[in-house]
Amino acid sequence: MVDLQSQYIKIKDQVDKNIIAVLESSAYINGPEVQQFQKELENYLGVKHVIPCANGTDALQIAMMGLNLKPGDEVITADFTFAATVEVIALLQLTPVLVDVKKDTFNMDIEALKKAITTKTKAIVPVHLFGQCANMEAVLKVAKKHNLYVIEDNAQAIGADYIFSDGTKKKAGTIGIVGTTSFFPSKNLGCYGDGGAIFTNDDELAHTLRGIVNHGMYKRYYHDVVGVNSRLDSIQAAILRIKLRELDNYCNTRQKAAAYYSTAFSTNKNIITPATSLFTTHVFHQYTLQITNGKRNELHQHLLDNGIPNAIYYPVPLHSQKAYVDDRYNEADFKVTNELIDTVISLPMHTELDKEQQDFIINTILNFVTN
């Protein structure tokens, strides 16, 4: 699905040099590399505060802790996403409320969001799934009307631009009160281990979050709030500094590969190619087709038989996962997610794909999914 080794080879000299410098400095935790990376990411995103942490799941949890959400508060998020989003809501004893997504973009359905709001709703977590932003202008409008926090799960869309109706742009993850991301190796900005970060323009929240990631300490050995231990280490930061400089190139390369796939599949009536909303750029964390002839599972196996990696993101809707089933849910409210789990298939998508590989993948698919 990804080719991290070929990507590494291209930046190997710089990466190896930076890693060795960290080893020699012995500033393994919170060293200058972490501070530098934080500043560089703030600049790239155009956001006032980046708070690095240990992974993208922690980032979501810490963001919710920082907003002081209380057990029983309802938090609305999308039914079609990676489990981390709903996991931290449940872990904090908040009440997850899952809503359906749009069939064309896989992102939160705003009508479903509106329907799910109750007097207990405190926050909305839009997920920028597969590399493009949810409809943030609509989310912000709903949030404003009901006085709700907006926490963007931006683990999959770092580098994407959100385009407001007046033409102004903001980077994905910097639009709500707080945004989070993951530097898991296969993410668009991935390190060589685990890592994550939280973004906010709110000075007070940033201060709170910096304490929470560090055991609730604002002054050494004085613990004002219950915190966690969640750090990005210096070696990962040193790697991320190099990869951040490449991020726009990486996004471009992914976009070109996606366009090449989409052109090839465009005339097949059993294949729906990924749609991009006008209000966002798409950085293609995943390139995900919908196979509408009922043969998705057969295609999945056929590709594996031909040595082509592919994946079903996601095979089970969150509302049907054992850990998150809830009597309040009504199957009729999850029509789209229930359909997508049977039709979606994600193809290899990364910065090192070449035309020859893509042609092989395309031909194998078109010979199997005939018109």
| Kind of pairing between the strands at 121-125 and 74-78 | parallel
Q: CB–CB of 215/65 below 8 Å?
A: no
Contact status, residue 87 vs residue 57, Cβ threshold 8 Å: yes
List the structure tokens of 175: 């639009």
Backbone angles phi, psi at 284, to 5 degrees: 45, 60
Residues that bind ligand PLP (rule: CB under 6 A) add up to a total of 15
Beta bridge partners of 95: 74
Least distance CB 213 / ligand PLP (angstroms): 14
Interface region with ligand PLP, contact rule CB under 6 A, candidates 55-63, 230-238, 295-303, 352-360: 55-63
Residue 155 in contact with ligand PLP, rule: CB under 6 A: yes
Judged by beta carbon, residue 127 or residue 361, the one nearer ligand PLP is 127
Q: Is the dihedral angle over the CA atoms 162, 94, 73, 338 positive or is it negative?
A: positive
Residue pair 155/141 in contact by the 8 Å Cβ criterion: no
Please state, in angstroms and rounded to a whole number, the distance separating the CA atoms of residues 155 and 60: 10
CB of 212 to ligand PLP, least distance (A): 16
Q: Is 56 one of the binding residues for ligand PLP (CB under 6 A)?
A: yes
Q: Which residue is nearest to ligand PLP (CB)?
A: 56
By CB under 6 A, what part of segment 80-139 binds ligand PLP?
Answer: 81-82, 84-85, 127
Smallest separation, CB 265 to ligand PLP (Å): 24
Beta carbon nearer to ligand PLP, 79 or 265 = 79
Q: Closest separation between CB of residue 112 and ligand PLP, Å?
A: 18
Tokens of 342: 């049977």
Cα–Cα separations (whole angstroms), residue 302 to 278, 305, 311, 367: 34, 5, 12, 11
First to last CA, the chain: 26
Instruction: State which of positions 186-245 bind ligand PLP (CB under 6 A).
Output: 194, 196
Q: Which residues, numbered 169-188, are part of the site for ligand PLP (CB under 6 A)?
A: 182, 184
Nearer Cβ to ligand PLP (55/105): 55
In the bound state with ligand PLP, the residue whose beta carbon lies nearer, of 44 and 184, is 184
Q: Which residues bind ligand PLP (CB under 6 A)?
A: 55-57, 81-82, 84-85, 127, 153, 155-156, 182, 184, 194, 196
